[in-house]
Structure 1
Amino acid sequence: MKTKNLLISSLIGFISFFGITQAAQADNHSYGHQKVVYHINYDNAKKQSGTLRNIQNHINAVGADNLDVRVVLHGNGLSLLLKPDALKNVPKFKAANSTTAMQQKVDSLKMQGVHFNVCANTVKGRKVDIKHDLYDVGNKDVVPSGVAELAHLQQQGFVYLRP
Structure 2
Amino acid sequence: MKDPAMLRRLAAAVVLSLAFTASALAADKPHHIAIQVDQNDPQIMNLALNNATNVIEYYRARSEDVEIDIVAYGPGLNMLRSDTSPVQDRIRRLKDLVFPGKIQFSACNNTRQGMEKAEGHAIAVVPDATIVPSGVVHLMDLQEQGWSYVRP
- Normalising by structure 2, we get a TM-score of 0.68
Secondary structure of the 1:126 match is helix
Identity %: 29
1:145 to 129, 134, 146: 134
Query: What is the Cα deviation at residue 130 of structure 1?
Result: 4.2
Q: Give the Cα separation in 2 of the matches to 1:35 and 1:129.
A: 32
Task: Give the equivalent residue in structure 2 for 1:55.
Answer: 52
What per-residue deviation string (whole Å, max 9, x for no partner) do you get for residues 75-124 of structure 1? Answer: 011111224xx4xxxxxxxxx3x24xx22220122132211111110011
For 1:49-84, what per-residue CA distance to the aligned partner results, in whole angstroms no more than 9, with x for missing partners? Answer: 12101110111101286101111110011111224x
2:126 maps to: 135
Out of 97, 102, 106, the position equivalent to 2:91 is 106
What residue ranges of structure 1 are gaps of 5+ in the alignment? Answer: 1-30, 87-95
Could you report, residue by residue, the CA deviation over 1:21-48 in whole angstroms, capped at 9, with x for unpaired residues?
A: xxxxxxxxxx732111001101110121
CA gap 1:69/1:61 in 2 versus in 1, 3 angstroms: same
Aligned pairs, how many? Answer: 115
Q: 1:142 to 1:74 in 2, by over 3 A?
A: same
**Contact 2:32 2:67 (8 Å CA) reproduced:** yes
Give the letter for the 1:109 counterpart. Answer: L
Task: Report the RMSD for the aligned CA atoms in angstroms.
Answer: 2.0
Task: List, as ranges, runs of 4+ consecutive aligned residues in structure 1 with deviation greater than 4 Å.
Answer: none
* 1:137 CA displacement: 5.2
- For 1:48 and 1:123, locate their aligned partners in 2 and report how far apart those are by CA, in whole Å: 18
Larger C-alpha radius of gyration, 1 or 2? 1
Counterpart of 1:135 in 2: which secondary structure? coil
- Residue aligning to 2:36: 39
Q: Unaligned 5+ residue runs, structure 2? A: 1-25
